[in-house]
């Protein structure tokens, strides 16, 4: 047996890397981290399997972000089919839940086919959040997520969502009491801070971990940024490298391609990534990312296959709701899908597609697009 040894400095720590060779082949590698007051001993595993509570994921899991008016059950099932490791419901108002608002209660509907699935709640009142968490637990999700990251005015402006970044003591109180009130794993999704003068995530991550959460998702923007500019993953990476952090860290923000997904894992070392807006009109992005990460060698989906998926999504929404609202619900995806980008002289067809009021009219327009492109091919 031959031993190779290398000493390096990384993030203010000294690392001794010892590689053992047996019969000319690498047998295994150990990393020794020399910290100021103690030594830790950690075997190297390139793609560790991540766990949240008793939920075990495969290597480099990719999650669907919870999004209002987007992550309904039909869309979640499509994303799950194409490889999403975890899906989340639309976020749910704690106040509306405890008032038994019908439309809010409907968001708690989940299916065994989409598991593991999380339900995310938001609010600013401690007692309301605790009571809402108990109601959610009865719906049978695999975990409960607390939203401390939504930046929109109607949420953050009232002190909920990212508004909690201005009231850390209350955020921590809510987290502790929800963790104590339910038996399910509790996780948190938040941002880097309120603005660039208050980048508090490195300290906040430890505080939230101390409250008993079992995973933390970090969006790489501040509340003041909303969704503008670029997500900053450097602080996400710092949280992950913190030797005091032992819960999974999930990175979120600006993942729009398989290449960016791999870079997030390789550069910042996160345990999982979460994809949000890039899924609009593109539930197959999870297949693209999984095929790339897992090097499956599978061919990408064709235009026809992708169009069929959007048509299926339309049918699901119409059957689940009704024709008028099902079409309205699908328009967001048709407007955002990259499938129609680059088609010459598409403006008038796009307008007609987004104005169609009956399923028959909309299906006819989508089939016209298919025919148009097949004739050009």
Does residue 5 carry a catalytic annotation?
no
3-state class of 310 per DSSP? helix
3-state class of 16 per DSSP? strand
Q: What is the token pair recorded at 227? A: 């969704």
Q: Nearest to residue 218, comparing CAs of 154, 266, 264, 169? A: 264
Residue 266 and residue 155: Cα distance in Å, rounded? 34
User: Which residues touch 219 (CB under 8 Å, ≥6 apart)?
Assistant: 149, 189, 190, 191, 192, 231, 252, 253
Helical H segments across the chain, by residue range = 73-81, 94-98, 102-106, 126-139, 153-156, 168-181, 201-210, 234-241, 258-268, 285-294, 303-320, 323-336, 347-355, 359-376
Selecting among 5, 79, 150, 211, the annotated active-site residue is 150
Residues with a known catalytic role: 150
């Amino acid at each position: 047996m031959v031993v190779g040894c290398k000493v390096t400095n990384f993030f203010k720590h000294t690392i001794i890397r010892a590689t053992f060779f047996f019969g000319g082949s690498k047998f295994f590698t150990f990393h020794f981290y020399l910290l100021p007051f103690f030594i830790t001993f950690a075997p190297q595993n390139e793609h560790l399997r991540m766990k949240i509570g008793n939920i075990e994921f495969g290597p480099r899991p990719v999650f669907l972000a919870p999004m209002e008016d987007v992550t309904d059950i039909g869309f979640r099932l499509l994303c799950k089919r194409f490889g999403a490791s975890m899906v989340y419901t639309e976020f749910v108002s704690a106040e509306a839940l405890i008032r038994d608002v019908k439309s809010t209660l409907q968001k708690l509907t989940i299916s065994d086919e989409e598991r593991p699935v999380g339900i995310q709640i938001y609010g600013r009142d401690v007692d309301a959040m605790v009571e809402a968490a108990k109601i959610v637990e009865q719906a049978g999700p695999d975990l409960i997520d607390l939203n401390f990251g939504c930046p929109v005015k109607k949420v953050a402006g009232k002190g909920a969502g990212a508004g909690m970044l201005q009231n850390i003591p209350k955020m921590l109180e809510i987290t502790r009491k929800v963790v104590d009130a339910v038996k399910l794993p509790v996780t948190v999704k938040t941002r880097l801070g309120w603005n660039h003068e208050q980048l508090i995530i490195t300290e906040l991550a430890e505080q939230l971990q101390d409250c008993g959460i079992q995973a933390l998702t970090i969006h790489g923007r501040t509340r003041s940024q909303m969704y503008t500019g670029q997500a900053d993953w450097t602080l996400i990476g710092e949280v992950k490298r913190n030797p005091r952090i032992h819960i999974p860290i999930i990175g979120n923000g600006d993942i729009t391609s398989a290449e960016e997904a791999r870079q997030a894992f390789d550069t910042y070392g996160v345990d999982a990534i979460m994809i949000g807006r890039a899924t609009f009109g593109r539930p197959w992005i999870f297949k693209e990312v999984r095929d790339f990460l897992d090097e499956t060698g599978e061919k990408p989906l064709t235009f026809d296959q992708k169009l069929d998926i959007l048509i299926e999504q339309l049918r699901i929404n119409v059957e689940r709701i009704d024709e008028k609202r099902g079409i309205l619900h699908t328009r967001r995806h048709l407007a955002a899908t990259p499938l129609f980008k680059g088609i010459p002289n598409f403006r008038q067809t796009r307008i007609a597609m987004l104005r169609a009021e009956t399923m028959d009219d909309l299906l006819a327009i989508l089939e016209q697009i298919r025919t148009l492109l097949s004739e050009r091919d």
